[in-house]
Amino acid sequence: MIPDPPFALLVELTHRCPLQCPYCSNPLDMERAAGEMTTEEWCGVIRQAAGLGCMQIHFSGGEPTVRPDLEILVAEAAAAGLYTNLITSGVLCDRARLERLAAAGLEHVQLSFQGATAPIADRIAGYAGGHEKKLSFARDVRAAGLPLTANFVVHRQNAHQLDAMIDMAVEMAAERIEIANVQYYGWALKNRAALMPSRDQLNVMIESVSAARERLKGILAIDFVVPDYYARRPKPCMGGWGQRFLNISPSGKVLPCHAAESITTLAFDNVREKPLDDIWLNGPAFRAFRGTDWMPEPCRACDRKEIDWGGCRCQAFAITGDAAQTDPACALSKNHSRLVATALEDAQSGGEDFVYRNFRSAKALPGL
């Protein structure tokens, strides 16, 4: 299958971040600052992505504003005609810097929150004072005239604040709110017992979101991602592996999705060594699960195989140890009942302690 050009590029400029979210999508084996790509290398990648046909660039991390050259990279992307989005925790960027970023061509900001009140949000983030800083940053985004999306990752320990989160997003005049249940790989998998919501919590969340969508029609768009463990059919992860999306790690590894490194049986090409278009078209990691040829039964004979593309490869690997299995989130998978049993068990575990995402915890993890 020859793919279309990728629609979006997500660049993880750094894995450094002052927050320590226990569900962070960064790999357990985070990359150190010394290995990060230089300004010139990132600018080259941005030009290559635009040449390849990418439409959007998302500056992410870690915390992308840790990089002092972010303005240069935003300007490079804007000059190359890419739509520019900053995905940030908002705790390190003051108003003057935000204005410089807007002047460089930044078009949109996605700001993440860990809860609706400081005690809960700061405990989850492992960062005292973070929640207040985020609220102040949200005001700066609006003052700079930039559109704002508020991102909330929800789980057992903050699901009861969902209504308050939606009210917060309305108050800060966000255009959009993304409410995403935790996806369980990497750090989140390590913390699954402390994060998994119960079915009852999920039902309450679904009702809250549906009522809010009705109430806020025309004011605020709400995206809601349900937890895979309670789903009947998987999501079309990344719009299909290697079909719409590219992710680049701080040291230049090119990944089909931000969690792909959790699949330890795959090797990833590096943009420092090969051109981006070659990696996109021919990279073994991209070709491994692109299209439908790789699929096992029941996907191979299923009429949804070009709708959900067999679901999430990282989840298949996390649960079965084989990334080429049907996503266990699918009720047709032979591993589905095991997934549901795990979810119910974790939801009732009552454990509240987190393995925080930081270099110290990573060092203590077996195998790292």
Question: Which residues are near ligand SF4 by CB under 6 A?
Answer: 17, 19-21, 24, 26, 61-63, 89, 112, 233-234, 298-299, 302, 304-305, 308, 310-311, 326-327, 330, 332, 357
Burial of 106 (0-12, 13-18, 19+ CB in 10 A): buried
Q: Closer to ligand SF4 by CB, 23 or 280: give it.
A: 23
- Do the Cβ atoms of 313 and 291 come closer than 8 Å? no
Q: How far is the C-alpha of 241 from the C-alpha of 151, rounded, in Å? A: 24
**CB 340 to ligand SF4: min, Å:** 15
**CB 19 to ligand SF4: min, Å:** 4
Name the DSSP class of 270: B
Q: Closer to ligand SF4 by CB, 56 or 326: give it.
A: 326
Q: Closer to ligand SF4 by CB, 75 or 125: give it.
A: 125
Q: How far is the C-alpha of 88 from the C-alpha of 12, rounded, in Å? A: 11
Tokens for 231, please give them: 């789903």
Q: Closer to ligand SF4 by CB, 5 or 126: give it.
A: 126
Q: Torsions phi, psi of 91, nearest 5?
A: -90, -10
Q: How far is CA 308 from CA 96, 239, 292, in A?
A: 43, 8, 11
- 16-92-165-61 Cα dihedral, nearest 10 degrees: -30
Q: Closer to ligand SF4 by CB, 63 or 76: give it.
A: 63
Q: Closer to ligand SF4 by CB, 120 or 281: give it.
A: 120
**CB 92 to ligand SF4: min, Å:** 10
Cβ-Cβ contacts under 8 Å for 323 (sequence gap 6 or more): 263, 265, 266, 288, 289, 313, 314, 316, 317
